[in-house]
Amino acid sequence: MKLNRSMKLGLIVAISIIALFVLSLLISQAPAGSDNSVRFGILTLLPPLVAIGLAFITKETVLSLFVGVFVGEFMLCVNDLNIVSTAVNAFLQMGSQIIACMADPWNAGIILQCLLIGGIIQLVTKMGGAKALADAFAKRADTPRKAQLFTWILGLCVFFDDYANSLIVGPIMRPVMDKLKVSREKLAFVVDATAAPVAGIAIISTWIGLEISLIAAGFKSVGVTNVTGFGIFLQTIPYRFYNIFILIFIVISSLTLYEFGPMKKAEQAARQRKDDEEIIVPEAPGFDEVKPVDGIKLSVWNAIIPIGTLIIGALIAFYWSGYTTILGGEDQALITLMKTSPLSFNGIFQALSASDASVALFQAALLASIVAIVMAVCEKILTVEDAISEWIGGMKTIVITGVILLLAWSLGGVIGDIGTADYLVGVLKNTLPQFIVPALIFVLGALISFATGTAYGTMSILMPLAIPLAWAVSTGDMGFTIVCTSGVLTGAIFGDHCSPISDTTILSSMGTSCNHIDHVRTQIYYAVFVACVAIFIGYIPAGIGMPWYICIPVGIIVMFIGLRLLGEKVDFEEVEA
């Protein structure tokens, strides 16, 4: 056995050295220039493909991301065929890249708020609030259908941020789903599919500021100044076919209990589980081992108050962050609005649009943490020392998520440096028939987002290219350009939804205590199915001129028929039989 392992290790090392040498040879022969997308060509796809491929093969997310980042840094450091010096330089650059990602204020805020929310969840669990809330939900959500629909409704309620959605809804609904023998994979899918797709179309969310600013800048670049970014944003909502269809697909799947692909196998295995059988999910960070303190009286308020503080505090923090940002800025119209009508709909909207989501969520999570600790001490459930210890223990559960996020961001940074997105845009934006352009933009957004793991970055890259392209091929048709604009926004979310290196996908796995690769593997079949409906029933007909109020009903019917044809019902009666 030792010999076999040694031989395997030696073979892997030998193949790796040969691959790095070939890579160095290909890059060193390419003409050096400022545009890495031209210099590397198709090799720009290598780092994300390596990371994604290894993730599926090895099911080791950290290792896969690490190798992907290293390959990207290696490509950037190639000057000659000396792979030893190149590898050393790549390793050093990799360290700098990870530190730079950690030093970024947005990234640091996201990691800190994730850690704090982890501490809150553990405190709520120890106080019995999570179990009381799960028991209360279980009385109403007493079937797999109701439980999945209840999770969907909760996901819609936490509309303001996709990160908060994943970290709040998953831990609350996991005990209910486990009791009703719904798989962790299906729970992770419902949570993930109600995170970014909801936040992306909500008129009050942490996404809208970026979206409307990109839209406004894109239309300004083609000389259209008589429209507002928010006005165009509202007009794109009916054409957000993927967002709308994925939310409706959850309802159809929940009501019919039809599943297909790996999700069907996961659901069948969950239904066949014995009532007293312990659920063991390998490589799944979560809060499964945490139990309420013995002998305490269970109360839903021990969950509602801390989590309510988090949600309400986040909305207030969003508003205050944007309010102070506007007053400290130079836009006199917005400053006047904040001084005269700060609580009007437009005032609240502008404040939320200008807010720093990572800072606001951290502030809200810190406040909710203090509230949870005070409640635990005042109710004599925990001492001050024990409450703080449990709070820190919850943070430890999230550490692996922080590591994965840092590596995912580092991979995104390397991918940006080598020009992956620019290469994809250059290859796919060739002259095409006008009606196919919205679908092409959707696919292009999906590819960039899948490869980079970020919807925000994809929107920022593609929007300045998509709006001028749509405006040019349609000779200034506003309706057609709006459809193409929605293609950018939804394509980015679809790719992010499928990508194993996406932060929201990672957080959904963590929040539901589901193995990350199992979540990606089961979800991707459903996401691709819905995306195909969005393309062929949504964006291609809309590119021809078909109105959205025809596309959406037809798309719903096609999804229902497709699910019945592809899927199989997974129900209690069939399992018992």
What is the rounded distance in angstroms from the CA atom of residue 259 to the CA atom of residue 522? 10
Beta-carbon contacts of residue 187 (< 8 Å; ≥ 6 apart): 151, 170, 173, 174, 177, 512, 514
Q: What is the pTM of this model?
A: 0.69
What is the rounded distance in angstroms from the CA atom of residue 140 to the CA atom of residue 136? 7
First-to-final CA distance of the chain = 44
Q: Is the pLDDT of residue 267 over 60?
A: yes
Give the torsion through C-alpha atoms of 44, 46, 51, 55, to 10 deg: 140
pLDDT value for 528: 95
DSSP character string of 333-380: HHHHHHHH-TTSHHHHHHHHHT--HHHHHHHHHHHHHHHHHHHHHHTT
Q: What percent of the chain is predicted at pLDDT more than 90?
A: 19
* pLDDT interval class at 56 (50, 70, 90): low
* pLDDT interval class at 575 (50, 70, 90): very low
pLDDT value for 293: 74
Beta-carbon contacts of residue 193 (< 8 Å; ≥ 6 apart): 155, 246, 247, 249, 250, 497, 523, 526, 527
pLDDT value for 191: 92
Q: Is the pLDDT of residue 533 over 90?
A: yes
CB atoms within 10 A of CB 77: 19
* CB-based contact 279:178 (threshold 8 Å): yes
Q: Is the pLDDT of residue 476 over 50?
A: yes
What is the rounded distance in angstroms from the CA atom of residue 417 to the CA atom of residue 412? 9
* Cβ neighbourhood burial of 504 (10 Å; 0-12, 13-18, 19+): buried
What is the rounded distance in angstroms from the CA atom of residue 255 to the CA atom of residue 263? 16
pLDDT value for 21: 65
Residue closest to 512 by CA, chosen among 284, 303, 307: 284
Interval 440-453: pLDDT, tens = 889 988 988 887 77
pLDDT value for 519: 92
In degrees, rounded to 5, the angle at the alpha carbon of residue 146 between the alpha carbons of residues 140 and 150 is 80
Q: Is the pLDDT of residue 289 over 60?
A: no
DSSP character string of 199-252: HTT-SSSSSHHHHHHHHHHHHHHTT--SS-HHHHHHHHGGG-HHHHHHHHHHHH
* pLDDT interval class at 290 (50, 70, 90): low
* pLDDT interval class at 2 (50, 70, 90): very low
pLDDT value for 562: 94
Query: What angle, rounded to 10 degrees, do the helices at 455-473 and 420-428 form?
Result: 30
Interval 405-434: pLDDT, tens = 788 778 777 877 887 767 766 665 555 678
pLDDT value for 494: 93
pLDDT value for 32: 60
* pLDDT interval class at 260 (50, 70, 90): very high
pLDDT value for 348: 81
- The residue with greater pLDDT, 188 or 169, is 188
Max intra-chain CA distance, the chain:
78
* Cβ neighbourhood burial of 244 (10 Å; 0-12, 13-18, 19+): buried
- The residue with greater pLDDT, 271 or 422, is 271
Cα separation values, 198 from 165, 166, 452, Å:
10, 12, 21
Q: What percent of the chain is predicted at pLDDT more than 70?
A: 85
Q: Where are the alpha helices (DSSP H) in 419-454?
A: 420-428, 437-452
What is the chain's alpha carbon radius of gyration, rounded to the nearest angstrom?
A: 24
Interval 203-242: pLDDT, tens = 766 576 667 767 877 788 777 877 767 778 888 999 999 9
What's the mean pLDDT in 153-173?
A: 78
* pLDDT interval class at 247 (50, 70, 90): very high
Least confident of 86-100, 136-150, 154-168, 191-205: 154-168
3-class DSSP state of 180: coil
DSSP state of 499: -
Interval 118-152: pLDDT, tens = 788 788 888 887 777 767 776 777 788 888 998 99
Interval 316-343: pLDDT, tens = 888 888 888 888 888 888 888 888 888 8
pLDDT value for 455: 80
- The residue with greater pLDDT, 572 or 248, is 248
- The residue with greater pLDDT, 63 or 530, is 530
For residue 477 the two structure tokens come to: 């048709």
Q: Where are the alpha helices (DSSP H) in 129-161?
A: 129-140, 144-157
Can you say how many angstroms the Cα of residue 50 is from the centroid of all Cα atoms in its chain? 20
Which residue is it, tokens 């095409």? Answer: 432
* pLDDT interval class at 574 (50, 70, 90): very low
- The residue with greater pLDDT, 486 or 36, is 486
Question: What is the β-pairing status of strands 568-569 and 258-259?
Answer: antiparallel
pLDDT value for 205: 64
* pLDDT interval class at 483 (50, 70, 90): very high
Q: Is the pLDDT of residue 391 over 80?
A: yes
What is the rounded distance in angstroms from the CA atom of residue 473 to the CA atom of residue 372? 56
Q: Is the pLDDT of residue 263 over 90?
A: yes
DSSP state of 293: P
- The residue with greater pLDDT, 259 or 472, is 259
Cα separation values, 505 from 150, 191, 403, 446, Å:
20, 10, 14, 15
Q: Is the pLDDT of residue 284 over 70?
A: no
Least confident of 6-15, 184-193, 521-530: 6-15
